[in-house]
């Protein structure tokens, strides 16, 4: 039985995701998955730093047009400028890395939540610059387990825990299509059918 509370996105803290180290072509699909994960799990926006990749921009904007919400997409800005701006804006920078404090076995998530500030989540790909670990960049280095896996998965679990699951019960405004959850089969409603 579905028990939708239809929380509004505006009730949740503002989280942006910065993707560092994207290699156009090679990383297109993974970075797209990271961006769509950010959107679906109620981050407010996604920043593809240092490079531009119009194919990702197109996919993300098309999904947002169809599926709703006010997800922001930005690309090409240098990561240093983004981090600098967020820090100057009294926000918190969280670097997701397998080397950081374990989100399960440490109290790092509580320490982040207690601050009640907007958050920039920095997600790398291959090896990130050593300075990402320093306090000049990251306020927290957080690991989603200390095993190698996927930046996509790490981001998903971080957001799910940060938003305490509420991000999966949000009404995406201005959607043209919506899924109606089913035990069997598929049901999609178009905006003409929304009551």
Q: Write out the residues near a copy of itself by the rule CB under 8 A.
A: 1-5, 27, 29-30, 33-34, 36-37, 39-41, 63, 67, 98-107, 130, 133-135, 140-141, 143-150, 152-157, 160-161, 165-169, 172, 178-187
Q: How far is the CB of 99 from a copy of itself (least distance, A)?
A: 4
CB of 6 or CB of 88, closer to a copy of itself: 6
CA nearest neighbour of 142 among 126, 158, 127, 128: 158
156, 41 contact by CB (below 8 A)? yes
Q: How far is the CB of 74 from a copy of itself (least distance, A)?
A: 19
Six token digits for residue 170: 């949000």
35, 19 contact by CB (below 8 A)? yes
123, 151 contact by CB (below 8 A)? yes
CA dihedral sign, ordered 112, 87, 96, 53 = positive
CB of 10 or CB of 134, closer to a copy of itself: 134
Q: How far is the CB of 186 from a copy of itself (least distance, A)?
A: 4
Q: How far is the CB of 144 from a copy of itself (least distance, A)?
A: 7
Q: Could you count the other beta carbons within 10 Å of the beta carbon of residue 65? A: 12
Query: What DSSP string describes 20-57?
Result: -S--TTTTHHHHHHHHHHHHHTT-SEEEE-S---HHHH
CB of 76 or CB of 136, closer to a copy of itself: 136
CB of 111 or CB of 117, closer to a copy of itself: 111
CB of 181 or CB of 195, closer to a copy of itself: 181
DSSP state of 13: P
Q: How far is the CB of 72 from a copy of itself (least distance, A)?
A: 16
Q: How far is the CB of 118 from a copy of itself (least distance, A)?
A: 21
CA dihedral sign, ordered 50, 52, 53, 59 = positive
CB of 87 or CB of 161, closer to a copy of itself: 161
């Amino acid at each position: 039985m579905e028990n939708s509370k239809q929380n509004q996105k505006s009730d949740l803290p503002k989280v942006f995701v910065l993707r560092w180290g994207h290699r156009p072509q090679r990383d297109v699909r993974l970075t797209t998955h990271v961006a769509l994960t950010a959107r679906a799990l109620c981050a407010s926006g996604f920043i593809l730093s240092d490079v531009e990749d119009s194919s990702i921009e197109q996919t993300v904007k098309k999904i947002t047009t169809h599926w709703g919400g006010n997800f922001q997409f930005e690309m090409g800005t240098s990561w240093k400028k983004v981090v600098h701006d967020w820090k100057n804006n009294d926000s918190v920078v969280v670097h997701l890395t397998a080397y950081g404090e374990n989100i399960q076995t440490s109290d790092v998530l509580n320490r982040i939540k207690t601050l009640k500030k907007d958050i920039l989540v920095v997600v790398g790909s291959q090896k990130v610059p050593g300075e990402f670990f320093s306090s000049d960049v990251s306020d927290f280095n957080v690991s989603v387990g200390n095993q190698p896996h996927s930046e996509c998965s790490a981001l998903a679990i971080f957001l799910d825990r940060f938003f305490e699951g509420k991000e999966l019960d949000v009404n995406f405004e201005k959607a043209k299509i919506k899924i109606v959850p089913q035990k069997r089969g598929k049901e999609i409603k178009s905006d003409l059918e929304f009551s």
